[in-house]
Amino acid sequence: MKAQMTKTMEIPEEEKRLANQLCFAVYSTAHAFTRAYKPILDRVGLTYPQYLVMLALWEKTEQPVKAIGEQLDLDSGTLSPLLKRLEQNGLITRARDARDERQVIVSLTPKGQSMRNEVNAIMTAIGEASGCTLEEMKTIRELLKGLRSNLTSAL
């Protein structure tokens, strides 16, 4: 196998500052999103990671734990406590798959399904907090998806 040499580009000193790092902008923005969502989600009794699980289940009301983990890029050690709490709150049920007992199927309860009505209010509130229009959000989302894809491909 032939070793590849990468050409090092000359990066201006100003671009090396923490505040100018793309990774830091994404990282700090993710934290700002979590903080902005907190008071909004507190009103409906969800944490941000629980909200992400519920969004996945509102799209498809019955899914294996593995599928939810893949969608959210979460391992089972992180996902299991989230699911346990959602189950304790009466929003989901977990049951072994009758066809394959190695899999656990997560399903929305009627209470969990009815919470879907909160999505518009949550999205409106976070939209207002972000100061972005729907069109701007779409543009940013597509840029971030492309960035994620590039980074994943680089591995």
Q: What is the pLDDT of residue 9?
A: 83
Q: Give me the CATH number covering residue 123.
A: 1.10.10.10
- What is the SS3 assignment for 58-102? HHCCEEEHHHHHHHHCCCHHHHHHHHHHHHHCCCEEEEECCCCCC
Q: Using the predicted structure, report yes or no on whether residue 2 has a pLDDT greater than 70.
A: no
Length of the chain: 155
pLDDT in tens, 8-67: 888 899 999 999 999 999 999 999 999 999 999 999 999 999 999 999 999 999 999 999
Which residues, listed in sequence order, are joined to residue 108 by a DSSP beta bridge? 92
- Decide if 134 is inside a domain: yes
- Decide if 102 is inside a domain: yes
Q: Which residues neighbour 49 within 8 Å (Cβ) at sequence distance 6 or greater?
A: 72, 74, 78, 82
- Decide if 12 is inside a domain: no
Query: What's the whole-model pTM score?
Result: 0.86
- Decide if 110 is inside a domain: yes
Which residue is associated with the tokens 């997560």? 106
- Decide if 6 is inside a domain: no
Contact of 72 with 96, CB cutoff 8 Å: no
What pLDDT band is residue 73 in, cutting at 50, 70 and 90? very high
Instruction: Quote the domain boundaries for residue 70.
Output: 23-154
- Decide if 51 is inside a domain: yes
For the chain, how many structural domains are there in total? 1
- Decide if 2 is inside a domain: no
pLDDT in tens, 95-152: 998 888 889 999 999 999 999 999 999 999 999 999 999 999 999 999 999 999 999 9
CB atoms within 10 A of CB 73: 10
